Every structure is written in structure tokens, then in C-alpha cells.
Structure 1
Amino acid sequence: MEPTFRASMNWLHTWAGVVLGGLLFAIFWMGTLSVFDREIDRWMMPATRLALPDAPIPLDAFRPYLETATVAKARAWAVVPATEREPVIRVTWQDTSLLLDPSTGAVLPDPGTWAATRFIYPFHYMLQIRIGRLGAWIVAFATMAMLALCVSGVIIHRKIFADFFTFRARNRPRRALLDLHNVTGVLALPFHVAITLSGLIIFYSIYFSVVFQIAYGDNWRTRFREETSGIVRQPRSGQPGAVGSLGAMAEEAKRLWGGAAAHLVIVWHPGDAAGYVQMRRSNDDVVSFPPGEIFFDSATGKLLTHRAPLPVASAQHFIAGLHLIHFRHWTLRWLYFALGLSGCVLIATGYLFWLERRRKRHAELGLAGVPIVEGLAIGSVSGIVIATLSFFAVNRLLPSDTTFAGYDRAALEIWTFYLVWLAAFGHAWWRPRRAWMEQCWPMAAFAVTAVLLNWLTTGDHLLHSLAHRHLWAVAGMDLLLLASAAAATLTAIRLRIRC
């Protein structure tokens, strides 16, 4: 019975990896980059490369924008104060979104890009498929498959701890690939399980919506009250009302939070008598996300509620915060980045081992399995890396006011990403045996080009960025791009020798 069970787990591990490996690699790759999404934004949006002032601009200084939202009868008006990772002030209402200088309050030019927070990060959890919730469901299916791969991988490796200490780099390619696959799998196994499971838990309300429908029907207010024991939801009254001092409310919230500042301020129903103000605590020093919220009456500033979420919601917030890592911990952030890359290596080596193990037999039998999977693997692995680097390079190449065929620069950047990715798949199926090596060269070229274009278009070369603390994120991005170019070049040289 045991050999049969292990054989079934081996079958599941193999084919789940082959069929869904490309999708999983895209999710892991974009998730790994999302660890530094705000820093990538700084690199892609030069106008936001600003130093934080000693004292923040008072919230009440943004009242003119609030009055504009009131006249427009906006459902909500929001301001996000500047932080170390995002040193700009964001003011939004309806379809308007402004970036403000944290020192002067002046409106910054439109960045003209979706950058990381609007493209890379959403791609990670919804593949940028905006047809209903289809993208989120596809990612959920892949996430469940990843959990199955983790469990089945443990079952089929009887010598799992020995595998952790075994890496025979000088052996045959197949043996070295299997060892690298095992090492990365065992080394980061707790991370892979935790990050995969927490990704499912974050969107529990989507994946298990039928449960809430059965329990609450259309009475969503009861659900919110029982889940959170503190969130305020009230409709517009239709009667005029004022908005009191946001600064005074923020000071009261800061006192109740023990000195922590507000990271997000939302005025619901501005100009309405039933308006209220929602303030979300900064989560620099806490794991949970959201870390805590306070509600005030917008006209009087009276505290409406300040209660901790109920246990189930608290647990979900902690797990979500552990996955999203919005809290301030640079060592852990780099560890997440490294372990995310290990997941990418795990998936890539799994593909390569499958190919090396079956290449000769499939050729002898005239089967097309290896060429198909090889093209899928190359396009999924090196292809998306090239597409991402082209996304960075074209961001620094195109002027901010560029338009073409009715598309603005942000859309052109995204089209570049997808067209380059599609071309990588075509090249992989056209020259499967040499595509691994040949795709390393454009990878290196795009990475170096992005660094050079950043220097030429902004003047922020690497030495200049390293010399100014507020530009360290830009320097980090340049360094990672150069490291990617070096790794791609060395890989191409090694593969050319083998070819």
C-alpha cells in the first residue's frame, strides 16, 4: 500500500508541477518583486524620489481638495500621508488621484505609469484579469496546487533531511538539477507553505462567499458587525453637514493608539450630515493588516468606535499582514525576497529535471511532450523575466507624455511587457534547445539598458543614489538590475559551452 501511495503522490507532484508550473512561476515571480513594490515605484516614478520633511503637512491643509470632493458629491475622499517607503502624499476622490510633494504640498506631475503597485502587485494575485473575479479564482486554483505540491514533495522524498545537505553541482546535469530542486524545496518549505496558505486566507470572503450568503443573506451590515465589532457603515442622509478638524481627530487617534500616527484618512460622505471619518493606524510596528481603525463623526469629531476586531477577524488580519509584510522590518523583507526567489528556482529546476529525464526517451519514441513542455518552461521562466526587464527599460525610455495609437505611456509599457513575453514563447518553441542560452542575452541587455536609461533620464546614477539616503531605493533597484545582468551573462556563457 505504501509504495502505491507514494507512487500516486509522485504522479501528482510531477504533473501538477508540469501543468501549472508556468502559472506558479508567474505568481511567485511577481509576488517576489512585490516585496519591494514601493521601492520599484520610486525607480519608475522619478518625480516621487523625494526626501521626507522634518514635520509633516497638517491634514487640514488639504481641505481645498476635500471641498472639491464635497461639491462633486463624492462618496469618499481620502488622504494617505507620506512615509519612508512612499514619500509622497496621495489625495483621492472619485476618479481623481493626486500626488503631492510632502514638503510643499505642490501637486506632482502624473507619473504616467502603473509601476509596481498597480501592475506587478495586482498581477501577483489576480493576473491582471479584471473579468469579474476570474483572475483571483485562477490564482486560488494554482495556490491549492502549490499546497498539494508541497505536501506531495515531502511524501515522495523519504530522505528529505539528507536531501537538504546534498548538492552535487559537478555531477550530471540531471542529478545537479534534482539536488538544487530538493535543496530549495526543503530550505524554504515552511515559507512556501505559510505564504501559500496565507494567500488563500486573505481572500477568504471571495473563495467562501457562499458560506456568508447562507449565514447572512443580504444583511451585510450584520456580517461586518459580527466579524469586526467596530467597523462603521452608514448611508448618506441627504442633509448638509460640515467636516470638523481632521488634525484634531488625528491627534486623538494618535493618543488612543499610544503614539502611532494615522496611515490612511477617509472622509465618507463629505458634506453630508451622516458623514464620518475613518482613520487607519500606521502598521510600521505591527504585523496585522489592517492594524487598527478608529471612526469619528465628521462634523463634531466625536469618537464613534475604537474597538479591536473579534478573534476570527484578528487572526485573519495577522495572517494577511504576515503575507503582505507592510510592517517595517528590512531584514525580514530581504528574507522574503530571497525565499521568493528560491520558489522561482524550485519551479524552474522542477521543469528542467522533468525535461532532462524524458528528453532521450521522447526523442526515441517520437513523442512531442518534451518540445511542448520545454517551450512552455522557457517562456514561463526566462520569458517573464525578460518581459519584466523590458517593462522597466521602456519606462525609462518613453517620455511621460508619449501616446501611440490612442494609448498613453502606461498602456504602452504594459503592451511592451505582454508582447515581449509572447515573443519569448514564440522563440522558445522555435529554437527550444538553444532558447535557454539565447534568452539570457536580452535579459542582460534589458537590465543594463534600464540602469543606463535611469542615469541618462534622471541623473541619478548609482554613486549619486548611494550618496543620498532618500535615493537608496533607487540605488537598490539599479544594483539588483546589474546583478540580474551579471547572472544572465554568466548563465549564457555556461550554457553556450554546453551547447
Structure 2
Amino acid sequence: MAPGTGFRRSMSWLHGWAGVLLGGVLMAIFWTGSLSLFDREIDRWMLPATRLPPPPTELSLDHLLVAHAEQLAAASPLWSVRLPDARAPTLQLSYQLPGQDRVTRHIDPHSGQLLADEGSWAGTGFIFPFHFSLHVPWLNIGYWLVGAAGMGMLVLLVSGVVAHRKLLAEFFTFRPRKRLQRGLLDLHNLTGVMVLPFHFLISLSGLAIFCLIYFPNIADGLYAEDRARLQLEALGGYTRPVSGSAAPMASLDAMLHSAERIWSDADRPGKAYLIRIWNPGDRHAYVEVRRGFADEVTMNVDRLTFDANTGALLHQHWTTPIVGVQRFLTGLHFIQFDHWTLRWLYFSGGLSGCLLIGTGLLFWTGARRARHARQGRISARLVEAIAVAGCTGLVIATLAFFIANRVLPVAAAAPGQRAALEAWAFFLAWALTLAHAVLRPAGSWREQLLTAAGMALLAVALNWLTTGAHLGHSLRTGLHAVAGMDLMLLVLTGVCLISAKRIRLAQFKQATHQDDRVPRNA
């Protein structure tokens, strides 16, 4: 045996089984992560009331926000206000009343009109959190599953590099006209090598974002008796108790201008993107102003805290070097800065991750399907069903989410229920695709691809019928986010139809080849 052969075999075994065990979760993470790059554009498609022109360069929170906040959220201990930008043109007010779920309302920054509550979580409320929590909040299990998948992805990348000796040659090798197994392996190797640095960076940075969840002992050791001090020193989380006595709030506009002047004097010029008003109406209320990061990679935690009643500066926080490293990795992962070329490259890298994982699962099952069937084992069949549900099933579930958003009437459900129904549509459709893949293993790929193509086309038609914004109208009126969504759905329709046709041809060739091997007199 050649030196190193045993080690490579061990790495190959680890690579295969790590992919099988974590492939389904990784597919969900990469798919929703890719969509999250355009979560605000998805919001414009799913929330028609927010399809507004670009916001004004200057706006007054005193005139646009305060009256609505006092009417809607007087009993809430926190008002969170996200300022509009080119991707999200509305002023967003978030609050949580006692005993109720958190609510986000949109305000037109031009007129100050409170927009209708359409009761949808849309992209930022459902797809984006799904990427890192899987919507499993109990005991942070979702975060831990994503963390385990992130560690597994690093293991897969390292073991894959070790297992493949001819890594450079495989980068230039793709034989789609060879037999299916050969083509799958070539495509798996090609996507793995071509985007290897991106996959490694995105997995490592994803782990760094939630380091305090995965490694809580670090914080416990340094701040065993005072976790609030950690928030203050690392993130600038200033707090003070409620006084119990009422007092009027000073001008929010004046606080914004003061914050921007302080940042400019400190040679960190920038605009605020988020404001939080804690304990509004109380004598000890305070206002937190966060500096934006649209022009930098690092998602900084620079923030200034003002007395809500006098406007006096209470506390200022600058991102420290250690926290800056973590926030730089966070910025690399979430790409919240304005750079459309990189955003599309990230999107391509995320989809290549889906292709890498999907082809790996298919190659594993293809190499074992016949043997497992002879032995009466269901391993290959089960993994193939997971692969189907993780690839075409995820696409169908996402399209069901979009279609439910356009079909469910806004006024038909109680507050919060419409969003829950959209989420249930996603999970129910996903479960049905898994059941379909188990029951119909031979035709599941082609049938689900055809279903996805029809659903994508239906979503485009429903957007037209329910809002009047067909593709031509969106392009003509400058609704680029809506037009982009419709275009991507049409592209998805074409990709699914072409893939279904190629699968049908491959099945026909395989059947013809088997018939040719049967003796004529048999």
C-alpha cells in the first residue's frame, strides 16, 4: 500500500459519512442563505404596500414617527426604528406589546402615512432567520444544529481536499455526456474546488457570529457575576432602570444630528441606520443611535446613547479591536454593505454550495443503490429521498411560501396568523416532497422539477393578478426589486424544465441500454 493511502481512505470515509449525515441540513442552510442575500428585495415582492420610490435624503423622525409610535406602541418598553435606504425604502417601527408577538409596521417616509399591515414575515422575517436558527428556538437547538452543520462543512472541505489527490486536474474536468455517475462526480469536484475559499470562509465566519452561544464558558469566566458588563464593554449595551414617573421626549432629529456630528469629529463619519428608544415616556428613558455600515465590511457596533428627555449624551461606544475581528467576520458573512457585484458573487457561491452538496448526495446513493436493493437495505433510498427533499423539495417549499403570500387574503386572519399560515405552507410543502420522494423514488426528481416549474410560473402570474405589477410594469416604473424577483422566478422555471427534460432523456437512454443487453430470444 502506498504511503498515505490509508489516511486518504479514512478521509474519504469521513467525507462520505459527514456529507450523508449533514447534507440535508447543509442544503437548507445554503439555500436560505443564498436567498437571504436578497431578503429585502423579497420583502418588496411579498409586501406590495412597501413598493415605494427611493426615500428622501433627509427626513424628520419627530414628524414621521413619534405620533404613530405613541398611538401603536405606547405600552411597549422598546421602540426599534430602522431608517429607510435604497433597498428598504420604508421607515420601519418594531415593538412588542405585553403578551403579544413582536410587530413591525412600515411608514411612508415621503408622506408619513402608516402603511397597511399585510401580516407577513416575508424574507427578512422568515427566510433570513431560518438560515441561522432553522426556526427552532427551544433551548437554542436551531443555533446548535446550524453550528454543528458549520463544523461539519469545514470537516467536509478539509477531508475532501485530502481525499482527492488530483485536485488541480479535477478543476478542469467535467464530462456531462459521460454516464450519470461520472458526470455527478465531476460536477461535485468542480464546484468543490472552484468555490473552495468561499465555502471555507462562509462556514468559518458563520461559526464566529454566534461564538458566545457555542462557547459560553468564555463569557462566564470573564463576567461570571455581571453579564450586563459584557454587553456594555463589548457591544455598548447601556441600561438604566425605569423611574416610574412620566416625562416628555426630546427631539429625535436633534439626537440624530448630534450623533452624526460626534462620529464625524471622531473621524468615523456615517449615517445612523437604527434607533432604539428604551422605556419611552419614562423620566429615565434613553435613546440608542447605531452607526450604519453600508460603506464598510465590518458590521460595527458603534453606538451613542442619549437621555430621551434632555438629549444629553449618556454613553458612547466604539467597536474595540477584538470585537472588531468578530464583527468583520460577521460582515463578510452577511454582506450588509452596498456592493452589488459581490452580492451576486455571494449568491452564485451559495448556489454552488447547494450544487456541491446535492451532487455529493446523489453520487453516494448512485454508487450504492443497486447493492443496497439486493441486500434489502434502505440506506441509499433514504439518503436519496433526503437529497430530493433537500434540493427540489426546498425549492417547492419556498415557492409554496411565496404563493401562500399572494393567495392568503390580508384581512382573513387574526393578527400574526397570516404569517404563521405562510410558514406552515413552507413546512407542509417540504414534508410532502419528502414523502413523495420516499413513495416514488424513480420519478421523484422529474416530477418535483416539473412541479417547481409550474409553481414558479404561478407565483409570477399571482403577483401580476393580485398587485397589477407585471414584469413590464415593474421595469417601466422602476420597481427593480419586484422585477428582479419575477425574472428570477422565470429563470427558475426554465432551469427546472431543462433539468426535467435532461432527466427524462437520461432515463430513456438507460432503459434503451438495458433493453439492448437483453437477448433477442429471451
State if a TM-score over 0.5 links the two structures: yes
Partner-residue secondary structure (3-state), 1:82: coil
Other-structure match for 1:9: 11
Q: 1:445 aligns with which of 454, 459, 472?
A: 454
In the alignment, structure 1 residue 493 sits paired with structure 2 residue 501 = yes
Find the aligned partners of 1:56 and 1:448 in 2 and give their Cα distance. 40
Kindly indicate whether the alpha-carbon contact (under 8 Å) linking 1:126 and 1:136 is maintained by their aligned counterparts in 2: yes
Other-structure match for 1:329: 339
Other-structure match for 2:485: 477
Kindly indicate whether the alpha-carbon contact (under 8 Å) linking 1:52 and 1:102 is maintained by their aligned counterparts in 2: no
Other-structure match for 2:244: 238
Partner-residue secondary structure (3-state), 1:79: strand
Other-structure match for 2:174: 167
Kindly indicate whether the alpha-carbon contact (under 8 Å) linking 1:268 and 1:277 is maintained by their aligned counterparts in 2: yes
Q: 1:71 to 1:378 in 2, by over 3 A?
A: closer
Find the aligned partners of 1:63 and 1:408 in 2 and give their Cα distance. 27
Partner-residue secondary structure (3-state), 1:174: helix
In the alignment, structure 1 residue 217 sits paired with structure 2 residue 217 = no
**How big is each residue's C-alpha offset from its partner over 1:253-296, in whole Å with a ceiling of 9 and x where there is no partner?**
12233352211111122223332211111221111214521222
Partner-residue secondary structure (3-state), 1:340: helix
**How big is each residue's C-alpha offset from its partner over 1:67-100, in whole Å with a ceiling of 9 and x where there is no partner?**
457852x322222221111111112333353211
Find the aligned partners of 1:238 and 1:70 in 2 and give their Cα distance. 17
Other-structure match for 1:48: 50
Other-structure match for 1:37: 39
Kindly indicate whether the alpha-carbon contact (under 8 Å) linking 1:57 and 1:105 is maintained by their aligned counterparts in 2: no
Partner-residue secondary structure (3-state), 1:277: strand
Partner-residue secondary structure (3-state), 1:257: helix
Other-structure match for 2:66: 63
Find the aligned partners of 1:438 and 1:257 in 2 and give their Cα distance. 57
Amino acid in the other structure paired with 2:389: G
CA positional deviation for 1:55: 4.4
Partner-residue secondary structure (3-state), 1:385: helix
Find the aligned partners of 1:163 and 1:431 in 2 and give their Cα distance. 34
Q: How many equivalent residue pairs?
A: 495
Amino acid in the other structure paired with 2:137: R
Other-structure match for 1:374: 384
Find the aligned partners of 2:52 and 2:227 in 1 and give their Cα distance. 42
CA positional deviation for 1:239: 4.1
**How big is each residue's C-alpha offset from its partner over 1:338-393, in whole Å with a ceiling of 9 and x where there is no partner?**
10000000000001111221223223333322212111211121111111112112
Kindly indicate whether the alpha-carbon contact (under 8 Å) linking 2:119 and 2:416 is maintained by their aligned counterparts in 1: no
Partner-residue secondary structure (3-state), 1:133: helix
Find the aligned partners of 2:347 and 2:481 in 1 and give their Cα distance. 15
Find the aligned partners of 1:418 and 1:223 in 2 and give their Cα distance. 37
Amino acid in the other structure paired with 1:298: A
CA RMSD of aligned residues (A): 1.9
Segment of structure 1 superposing worse, 235-244 or 437-446 = 235-244
Name the TM-score, length of structure 2 as normaliser. Answer: 0.91
Amino acid in the other structure paired with 2:423: I
Find the aligned partners of 2:374 and 2:404 in 1 and give their Cα distance. 44
Kindly indicate whether the alpha-carbon contact (under 8 Å) linking 2:129 and 2:135 is maintained by their aligned counterparts in 1: yes
Structure 2 gap segments, 5+ residues each: 98-102, 508-522
Kindly indicate whether the alpha-carbon contact (under 8 Å) linking 2:136 and 2:142 is maintained by their aligned counterparts in 1: yes
Segment of structure 1 superposing worse, 324-333 or 352-361 = 352-361
Structure 1 gap segments, 5+ residues each: none
Other-structure match for 1:198: 205
CA positional deviation for 1:456: 1.0
Kindly indicate whether the alpha-carbon contact (under 8 Å) linking 1:47 and 1:109 is maintained by their aligned counterparts in 2: yes
Please give the residue correspondences for 1:132-211 in structure 2 after superposition, counting only pairs within 5 Å. 132-211=139-218
Q: 1:256 aligns with which of 251, 262, 279?
A: 262
Name the TM-score, length of structure 1 as normaliser. Answer: 0.95
Other-structure match for 1:91: 93
Find the aligned partners of 1:305 and 1:344 in 2 and give their Cα distance. 45
CA positional deviation for 1:394: 2.1
CA positional deviation for 1:415: 1.6
In the alignment, structure 1 residue 415 sits paired with structure 2 residue 424 = yes
Find the aligned partners of 2:7 and 2:212 in 1 and give their Cα distance. 34
Q: 1:69 to 1:214 in 2, by over 3 A?
A: farther
Q: 2:28 aligns with which of 26, 29, 37?
A: 26
CA positional deviation for 1:407: 8.3
Kindly indicate whether the alpha-carbon contact (under 8 Å) linking 2:277 and 2:308 is maintained by their aligned counterparts in 1: yes
Find the aligned partners of 1:443 and 1:58 in 2 and give their Cα distance. 45
Kindly indicate whether the alpha-carbon contact (under 8 Å) linking 2:250 and 2:309 is maintained by their aligned counterparts in 1: yes
Q: 1:272 to 1:394 in 2, by over 3 A?
A: closer
Find the aligned partners of 1:342 and 1:245 in 2 and give their Cα distance. 49
Q: 1:412 to 1:222 in 2, by over 3 A?
A: closer
Find the aligned partners of 1:175 and 1:396 in 2 and give their Cα distance. 42
Amino acid in the other structure paired with 1:343: G
Q: 1:53 to 1:197 in 2, by over 3 A?
A: closer
Find the aligned partners of 2:421 and 2:278 in 1 and give their Cα distance. 35
Q: Percent identity?
A: 47
Other-structure match for 2:118: 111
Kindly indicate whether the alpha-carbon contact (under 8 Å) linking 1:56 and 1:102 is maintained by their aligned counterparts in 2: no
Segment of structure 1 superposing worse, 95-104 or 158-167 = 95-104
Partner-residue secondary structure (3-state), 1:132: helix
Find the aligned partners of 2:117 and 2:69 in 1 and give their Cα distance. 20
Q: 1:114 to 1:70 in 2, by over 3 A?
A: closer
Other-structure match for 1:126: 133
Find the aligned partners of 1:327 and 1:84 in 2 and give their Cα distance. 12
Amino acid in the other structure paired with 2:383: V
Other-structure match for 2:326: 316
Amino acid in the other structure paired with 1:138: L
